[in-house]
Chains A and B, each alone.
Chain A
Amino acid sequence: MHDASADLVPGLDPDLDLSRRLHPHWRTEDNLLALLAENARQHPDRVAMREYDHGIWQEYTWARYLQAVLEFAAGLEARGVGPGDVVLFVGDNRPALYFGMLGAIALRAIPSPAYPDQPPEGLAGQIRSESIRHAVAEDQEQVDKLFYIQQHYDCHFDLILYDDPRGLKDQGSLCACQAVTAQGAARLAAEPGLREQLLGRSSVHDIAALLHSSGTTGAPKGIPLRHGHILYGVRNAAAAGYFIEGEEHMAYLPIAWVGDFIFSVGAAIALRFVVNLPESRETVRRDLRQIAPTLYFCSPRTWSDMLTRIQVGIDESTPFKRALYRHFMPFAIGLERRRLEGHSPTWRERIWRQVGEWLVQGPIKDHFGLARVQRPYTAGEAIGEEVFLFFRALGLDLRQFYGQTENCALAAAQPSGSVALHTVGEPFPGVEMRIDDQGEILMRGDNVFDGYYRNPQATAEVLHDGWLHTGDAGYFQEDGQLVVLGRVSEVVHTGQGERFIPTYIENRLQFSHYIQDACILGQGREHLAAIVCIDFRAVGHWAQEHGVPYSSYAELAQQARVVELIAGVVAQTNRVLPEKLAIRRFVNLHKAFDADDGEVTRTRKLRRKVIDDKYRPIIEALYSDQARVEYEAAIVYETGDTGVLRRDLALVTVPAGK
């Protein structure tokens, strides 16, 4: 039998049998490695990956890709990595990290990617709970972090590999990726049959990636996704036309995030994408333009960011271009709004829209690298109406996705014809979905995982008879479109017993590009209040235009006219909220929420408990009748010293009434 090798390694993965029982229809040889080998055989010279390096797009063909993966696998094996070992991958999107992950998968080891900006404490938790002893790090910064963790957190590494040799030398457990792949290449040359043998080890039931929940609630949990989950998820989406073969894709989102593994590894191998890796995190915008992807995914926040950049750019442009933009964009937005309401445009409108495409929309799309995008998506949270309509009016068929790490992030999406602002579309073929009595969204399918990594208790909480309890509250419309309201656990009540979901209101506030983050308070209180973090760039630009002087974020946030500006946004938001859920008081915070300070997760979801504790004095003051509050902010300098900064913050009461 093909799977005989698994039996040679007792205790490889206790859930392997479970997986075989749960998914009897999965074919063992239907796995990522086999598909990669197939690509290399059928399309050896087709480009599989590009990296911007030394000022040139360096290309990897499928044949070279496979060779790199096999060299990595052979090298890792020689250094003691074996089946069932969890291997940490930390860094930005670099070819070596992708090849390394697949190399580990070929050995039936389990890649466990981590966010490059994750602080040592969180990373140490992941390393300990998964008994990680092998790591592949991008550069000196990450290697330093691993050494720090080894020193301070009772972890031990047998092997730390690095990709970028700047500032690093091999010693002890530290070793260059290049040395390992060279060793692997030598093994492949010396041992005939090793190549086929490495390609034949994987099974569809193996864990292809150990990803992690974003940690909105408590410690991150390991989410093992098997080859089968990923491939079925990808094929479901492809069957509904959300991906096509040979997409140009830019891999710029963190490798630890489920979407990147699904897009840049799973779908890329199953559907032969060209994966383009930007030069660095700072050059993503420039590289996007050079790549001009056909498939483009980014969070609502990034779309909103791009809109701000377009608007700022137009404001600084020549009067003629401004005039063109101010005529054609509102026209196209109005047209799109009516189209979403079900009215089709007249032929006259169509012609004028086309003229706009030539003069305004086309050049803008080209400038931002969106000229070739056929399948633009967004997911993760609600998108603002202004942003959504703008990009649709720009001629992009922007659609919303819905999914979690637990279901490969591929659960539902909007079909091209039925796009709406408040829905997330319909379930993919192959995904069953229903709403239970509490209004929670449940789903089942081959893309849904089999349980958390070594955490049967957490598994029992979310998986019942194969149905995944997503924890999201939602409902199906009559036309079959799913509406997601928010987290079931997030539903809270005011002192008067009024039910609300803070995120829902926060998103409404953030639809204004002046507000970067907001935290809605009000649980058990008589009314709602908000902590607002202004968007430094957008408000800064506004301040320049309106002659408001400032030197720092803190100062800008407290300028009387800026406070007034935000009060206006809050009042406007109040207009669409029920009277009892109106935001009565708010404060402009002296800093933006930051993942390094623990106020938001890496995916920028609020950590309410941290915010509650940290800003307790401000919150209490918001619910008193004070007009100002003095807040002592603890800060940590780069040297590790701590200090206290005193901030005087204005508390604003928003007038009642619509």
Chain B
Amino acid sequence: MVIAATVDQADIVLSCTQISRWFGGLQAMKDVSFDIRRGQILGLVGPNGSGKTTTVNAITGFFPPQQGEIRFGGLRLNDLKPHQVAQQGIARTFQNVALFKGISVLDNILLGRHNFMNPTVIGAMLYWWRAQKEEIANRNKVEAIIDLLQLENVRDEPVDVIPLGTQKRVELARALAAEPTFLILDEPMAGMNQEEKEYMVRFILDAQEALGLTILLIEHHMDVVTAICDHLVVLNNGEKICEGLPREVIANPDVVAAYIGKVEVGHA
């Protein structure tokens, strides 16, 4: 079945092969391997300090792996700088909201389009037709995202004053503004209440459907992960301990043990 295997290979958007990363004497990732297929939502879960964010930082070029290989499409990402990774169509949000305080929601989202802006000093100063055209085109894209994520009523608010749940949505909007094909969401629902979580899930699914995204989702809320992920990868102490369909994975005794400690089973 050589043909099937080739088709399968082409379907893989991102593959991590045996990646490892040390910080001084601490090994944060040990030989982690996994693949993400086109259109998939892959959930990366694990207890605190298990290496989830390190994996994301490795993919996005903040802390490239010291061993192993990360390939995106046909391209090796190991040697790329973060901005070069972003140019490949990879966008991310951050665990702690990382918006630019003091400017409006609209401007924050517009900043997500810096890859598409090509300003010249004089053009920008005089706001000539080229700069004008560029601004209008970018604004149009941003407005479509505002519409998709229903941010109309906070469009002109400074980001500092809006609720945390909405800030997270603005961050998602900014990531989408970069027109990514591959989106990494680092705990998009941290600190949210049930209602905000449900909204966020809806928006993530809407965005995935409307924009045809492949998503890597780091999340602690197991109900969310099992509800929307197609595939789960579980990390513990920097190692992959399990992967597979969400229902199977959460029933795995190793995963349970990693999350809530070892349970003695079978001694009634």
The answer to whether B152 touches A283 (Cβ under 8 A) is yes
Q: Which of B82-90, B137-145, B256-264 contacts A (4 or more CB under 8 A)?
A: B137-145
The answer to whether A279 touches B206 (Cβ under 8 A) is no
B 104-117 to A, binary, CB cutoff 8 A, 1 in contact else 0: 00100000000000
A 31-62 to B, binary, CB cutoff 8 A, 1 in contact else 0: 00000000000000000000000111000000
The answer to whether B153 touches A55 (Cβ under 8 A) is no
20 A-B residue pairs with Cβ-Cβ distance under 8 Å, sorted by A, are: A54-B140, A54-B143, A54-B144, A54-B146, A54-B147, A55-B106, A55-B143, A55-B146, A55-B155, A56-B143, A166-B206, A167-B206, A279-B152, A280-B152, A280-B153, A282-B153, A283-B152, A283-B153, A286-B153, A286-B156
Q: Which of B202-254 contact A (CB under 8 A)?
A: 206
Min CB distance A121 to B, Å, is 25
**Chain A residues with Cβ under 8 A from B140's Cβ?**
54
The answer to whether A282 touches B152 (Cβ under 8 A) is yes
Which of B146, B152, B155 has the most chain A CB atoms inside 10 A of its CB?
B152
Nearest residue in A to B148 (C-beta to C-beta)?
A166
Nearest residue in B to A283 (C-beta to C-beta)?
B153
**Chain B residues with Cβ under 8 A from A280's Cβ?**
152-153
A 249-263 to B, binary, CB cutoff 8 A, 1 in contact else 0: 000000000000000
Alpha-carbon gap, A279 to B156, bound state (A)? 13
Number of B residues near A (Cβ < 8 Å) is 12
**Chain B residues with Cβ under 8 A from A283's Cβ?**
152-153
Alpha-carbon gap, A55 to B139, bound state (A)? 9
Nearest residue in B to A280 (C-beta to C-beta)?
B152
A 154-175 to B, binary, CB cutoff 8 A, 1 in contact else 0: 0000000000001100000000
**Chain B residues with Cβ under 8 A from A167's Cβ?**
206
Alpha-carbon gap, A286 to B153, bound state (A)? 9
B 150-171 to A, binary, CB cutoff 8 A, 1 in contact else 0: 0011011000000000000000
Alpha-carbon gap, A457 to B235, bound state (A)? 74
Nearest residue in B to A282 (C-beta to C-beta)?
B153
B 23-36 to A, binary, CB cutoff 8 A, 1 in contact else 0: 00000000000000
Nearest residue in A to B136 (C-beta to C-beta)?
A56
Min CB distance B109 to A, Å, is 11
Alpha-carbon gap, A283 to B151, bound state (A)? 11
**Chain A residues with Cβ under 8 A from B156's Cβ?**
286
Alpha-carbon gap, A54 to B144, bound state (A)? 7
**Chain B residues with Cβ under 8 A from A282's Cβ?**
152-153
Alpha-carbon gap, A55 to B155, bound state (A)? 8
Nearest residue in A to B146 (C-beta to C-beta)?
A55
| Supplied contacts A54-B140, A279-B153, A286-B153, 12 more A-B pairs, CB within 8 Å | A54-B143, A54-B144, A54-B146, A54-B147, A55-B106, A55-B143, A55-B155, A56-B143, A166-B206, A280-B153, A282-B152, A283-B153
**Chain A residues with Cβ under 8 A from B143's Cβ?**
54-56
Which of A55, A282, A286 has the most chain B CB atoms inside 10 A of its CB?
A55
Secondary structure at the A interface, as helix, strand, loop or mixed, is loop
Which of B140, B143, B153, B206 has the most chain A CB atoms inside 10 A of its CB?
B153
Alpha-carbon gap, A528 to B146, bound state (A)? 52
A 277-313 to B, binary, CB cutoff 8 A, 1 in contact else 0: 0011011001000000000000000000000000000
Q: Which of A91-106 contact B (CB under 8 A)?
A: none
Alpha-carbon gap, A524 to B156, bound state (A)? 55
Alpha-carbon gap, A56 to B136, bound state (A)? 11
**Chain A residues with Cβ under 8 A from B206's Cβ?**
166-167
Nearest residue in B to A638 (C-beta to C-beta)?
B195
Alpha-carbon gap, A55 to B206, bound state (A)? 21
Nearest residue in B to A284 (C-beta to C-beta)?
B153
**Chain A residues with Cβ under 8 A from B153's Cβ?**
279-280, 282-283, 286
Q: Which of B67-120 contact A (CB under 8 A)?
A: 106
**Chain B residues with Cβ under 8 A from A286's Cβ?**
153, 156
Min CB distance B149 to A, Å, is 11
Alpha-carbon gap, A147 to B139, bound state (A)? 36
Q: 3 nearest interchain CB pairs?
A: A282-B153, A54-B143, A55-B143
Min CB distance B80 to A, Å, is 34
Min CB distance B37 to A, Å, is 25
**Chain B residues with Cβ under 8 A from A56's Cβ?**
143
Alpha-carbon gap, A167 to B210, bound state (A)? 10
Min CB distance B186 to A, Å, is 27
A 223-235 to B, binary, CB cutoff 8 A, 1 in contact else 0: 0000000000000
Nearest residue in A to B155 (C-beta to C-beta)?
A55
A 306-335 to B, binary, CB cutoff 8 A, 1 in contact else 0: 000000000000000000000000000000
Alpha-carbon gap, A279 to B150, bound state (A)? 11
Which of B106, B144, B155 has the most chain A CB atoms inside 10 A of its CB?
B155
Nearest residue in A to B157 (C-beta to C-beta)?
A286
Min CB distance A475 to B, Å, is 46
Min CB distance B32 to A, Å, is 37
**Chain A residues with Cβ under 8 A from B106's Cβ?**
55
Min CB distance A125 to B, Å, is 31
Nearest residue in A to B143 (C-beta to C-beta)?
A54
**Chain A residues with Cβ under 8 A from B147's Cβ?**
54
Min CB distance A45 to B, Å, is 23
Min CB distance A313 to B, Å, is 15
Alpha-carbon gap, A282 to B156, bound state (A)? 13
Alpha-carbon gap, A55 to B107, bound state (A)? 13
Alpha-carbon gap, A495 to B51, bound state (A)? 76
Nearest residue in B to A281 (C-beta to C-beta)?
B153
B 59-72 to A, binary, CB cutoff 8 A, 1 in contact else 0: 00000000000000
Alpha-carbon gap, A299 to B140, bound state (A)? 36
A 44-82 to B, binary, CB cutoff 8 A, 1 in contact else 0: 000000000011100000000000000000000000000
Alpha-carbon gap, A282 to B152, bound state (A)? 9
Alpha-carbon gap, A279 to B155, bound state (A)? 11
**Chain A residues with Cβ under 8 A from B139's Cβ?**
55
Nearest residue in A to B144 (C-beta to C-beta)?
A54
Min CB distance A558 to B, Å, is 24
Nearest residue in B to A55 (C-beta to C-beta)?
B143
Alpha-carbon gap, A283 to B143, bound state (A)? 15
Min CB distance B194 to A, Å, is 10
Min CB distance B243 to A, Å, is 31
**Chain A residues with Cβ under 8 A from B155's Cβ?**
55
Min CB distance B189 to A, Å, is 19
Alpha-carbon gap, A55 to B144, bound state (A)? 10
Min CB distance B245 to A, Å, is 26
**Chain A residues with Cβ under 8 A from B146's Cβ?**
54-55
Alpha-carbon gap, A283 to B105, bound state (A)? 15
Which of B144, B146, B147 has the most chain A CB atoms inside 10 A of its CB?
B147
Min CB distance B18 to A, Å, is 42
Alpha-carbon gap, A283 to B147, bound state (A)? 14
Min CB distance A610 to B, Å, is 28
Which of A54, A166, A280, A286 has the most chain B CB atoms inside 10 A of its CB?
A54
Q: Which of A571-629 contact B (CB under 8 A)?
A: none
Nearest residue in B to A167 (C-beta to C-beta)?
B206
**Chain B residues with Cβ under 8 A from A55's Cβ?**
106, 139, 143, 146, 155
Min CB distance B124 to A, Å, is 20
Q: Which of A544-583 contact B (CB under 8 A)?
A: none
